Chains A and B, each alone.
Chain A
Amino acid sequence: MIEVNTLNKSFNCVWVLKDITTRFSRGKANLIIGRSGSGKSVLLKSIVGLLEIDSGEILFEGQNFTRMNFAERKKIRRKFGMLFQGGALFDSLTVYENISFNLDFFTSMTKKEKQKRVKYCLELVNLKNVTHLYPSELSGGMKKRTAIARAIVMNPSYLFCDEPNSGLDPETATIIDNLIKRITLELGITTVINTHDINSVLEIGDNVLFIHEGQNWWEGTKEEIFTSGNEELNDFVFATEIIKRIKPPNTSI
């Protein structure tokens, strides 16, 4: 479980996140939603410590991450898997090398064991015959999937995904959503996903955190979204005709 307590973050005196308090549970897909520019990526990066926060604290299973020094953080980070908004694959390495990178660094696996592990991860994300290709030779969706494979290769305890399915066709997006959900359940990890894709929310949103103007505006499950009377949330979720139609008639927008 990850706990975030009264987190504040500003850039050059402009507040991006204000008093965010929330928790992300284990074995669940925890979604952070909100408009573009609302601070989702900043929140995710603050949680993993890529951005230093102004005040507040972040706890991993009760351990205060915010107060840790570099070496202690490094230890916890070995349990992280992260999928960046742009993929962040290493350009100079092939798909195979990208995924086995962590194994080279942190395990003493033999070459055979590594190959097996990489193959297994690639199968999980439905990729075949790409091990020898470089990131520049992959399509957007393949990059995303390679990045997911890289994120899960070390069996992380925490998985952070920034827009895992942006720029993908609806079918691939759903496949990726369900893949993340399955991994979360099977491996019992704490998964935090940033998204502004309503389909994902309705597909996998166990817990949903709605960020608006840098604040924790609303929290609940995907079912509760339908019955919430929160105006900003409704405006955000039921923005398109097709989604409006699936809203139960007895609730107001």
Chain B
Amino acid sequence: MTLFHHLGKYVLLLKKVFAKPEKARVYYKQTIREIETLGINSIGIIAMISVFMGAVITIQTAYNTENPLLPTYLIGLAARDSILLEFSSTIVALILAGKVGSNIASELGTMSVTEQIDALEIMGINSASYLILPKIIALMFFAPFLTLMSMIIGIFGGWAAGTSVGAVTTTYYIHGIQYEFIPYYVTYSLIKSVVFAFIITTVSSYHGYFTKGGALEVGRSSTKAVVHSSVVILLFNLILTQLLLS
């Protein structure tokens, strides 16, 4: 019952968000702003996590394939596929849900409890559209870049770690990441990242926008935003994998 209640409220909110924008220029400016706060400001954390995850994936694959019957290029290949298929889209999305999701929910939550959203409504502005639409567009636009970047940095991290611990040579690693490379995996990942960006921004905005009460509730909304976005991401990961890869 409550699930349907939330779902209905969420759909109604989205309807309000996608109403015709009243002044394109203002929205454009907001979107640029959001690209910076949501996208560009996430580059650092994504890069750092990607380099370490790439390294760990490579080293673990190397230790698990120490059997002499298995070719060494397998290490590069396995690392590439893990990074391309799952890490750079799903795991990066989960990290973004934590960073961007809590940011959005606490920003909108604070605006709601301090009546700033009411103030927008009184001015005759569609507050949902003005506040949320630029966030959705900004992250959906920027998430593929973050994913691509994460792929490159992850594979680089794998190489750096793999060669420095002596698990694989540069030649074999490069041979591995080129071996039977399927470009569609990149497309698949990028499609996923766009869908996940939509989930993160809308679910977090939903929790932030409807926050009632005070500072305590803002904190709660922010937690809910992260948890719910993550769960929905995992669910859609399953659905999308089934749809796009089978």
Contact mask for chain B residues 80-110; partner A; CB cutoff 8 A; 1 contact, 0 none: 0000000000000000000000000000001
Chain A, range 66-103, C-beta contacts under 8 Å to B: 74-78, 80, 82, 84-86, 88-91, 101-102
Question: A77 near B121 (CB under 8 angstroms)?
Answer: yes
User: Which chain B residue shows the least CB distance to A102?
Assistant: B123
CA of A102 to CA of B22 in the docked complex: distance in angstroms?
Answer: 12
Question: B116 near A78 (CB under 8 angstroms)?
Answer: no
Q: Which of B115, B123, B126 contacts A86 (CB 8 A)?
A: B115
Question: B123 near A104 (CB under 8 angstroms)?
Answer: no
CA of A90 to CA of B107 in the docked complex: distance in angstroms?
Answer: 11
What distance in Å separates the Cβ of B104 from its nearest Cβ neighbour in chain A? 13
Question: A77 near B124 (CB under 8 angstroms)?
Answer: yes
Q: Which of B26, B111, B121, B126 contacts A104 (CB 8 A)?
A: B26
Asked if B66 is an interface residue, CB under 8 A from chain A, the answer is: no
> Chain B contacts of A85 at CB under 8 A?
115
> Chain A contacts of B114 at CB under 8 A?
86, 88, 91
Contact mask for chain A residues 19-53; partner B; CB cutoff 8 A; 1 contact, 0 none: 00000000000000000000000000100101000
Question: A74 near B115 (CB under 8 angstroms)?
Answer: no
Question: B26 near A50 (CB under 8 angstroms)?
Answer: no
Contact mask for chain B residues 100-141; partner A; CB cutoff 8 A; 1 contact, 0 none: 000000000011001110110111111000000000000000
> Chain A contacts of B124 at CB under 8 A?
74-78, 80, 106
Asked if B23 is an interface residue, CB under 8 A from chain A, the answer is: yes
- Interface size range of chain B in the complex: 10 to 19
- Interface size range of chain A in the complex: 20 to 34
Question: A105 near B26 (CB under 8 angstroms)?
Answer: yes
CA of A133 to CA of B92 in the docked complex: distance in angstroms?
Answer: 37
Q: Do A50 and B123 contact each other (CB < 8 Å), given the known contacts A104-B26, A105-B23?
A: no
Question: A50 near B118 (CB under 8 angstroms)?
Answer: yes
User: Which chain A residue shows the least CB distance to B33?
Assistant: A92
Q: Which of A78, A84, A106 contacts B118 (CB 8 A)?
A: A84
Question: B26 near A90 (CB under 8 angstroms)?
Answer: no
CA of A221 to CA of B26 in the docked complex: distance in angstroms?
Answer: 45
Q: Which of B115, B118, B123 contacts A105 (CB 8 A)?
A: B123
CA of A82 to CA of B125 in the docked complex: distance in angstroms?
Answer: 13
CA of A191 to CA of B210 in the docked complex: distance in angstroms?
Answer: 29
CA of A82 to CA of B121 in the docked complex: distance in angstroms?
Answer: 10
Q: Do A90 and B122 contact each other (CB < 8 Å), given the known contacts A105-B23, A105-B26?
A: no
> Chain B contacts of A48 at CB under 8 A?
122
What distance in Å separates the Cβ of B95 from its nearest Cβ neighbour in chain A? 24
Contact residues of A with B, CB < 8 Å?
Answer: 45, 48, 50, 74-78, 80, 82, 84-86, 88-91, 101-102, 104-106, 160
15 contacts between A and B (CB under 8 A): A45-B118, A48-B122, A50-B118, A74-B126, A76-B124, A77-B121, A77-B123, A78-B124, A80-B122, A84-B118, A86-B114, A88-B116, A91-B111, A105-B26, A160-B122
Contact residues of B with A, CB < 8 Å?
Answer: 22-23, 26, 110-111, 114-116, 118-119, 121-126
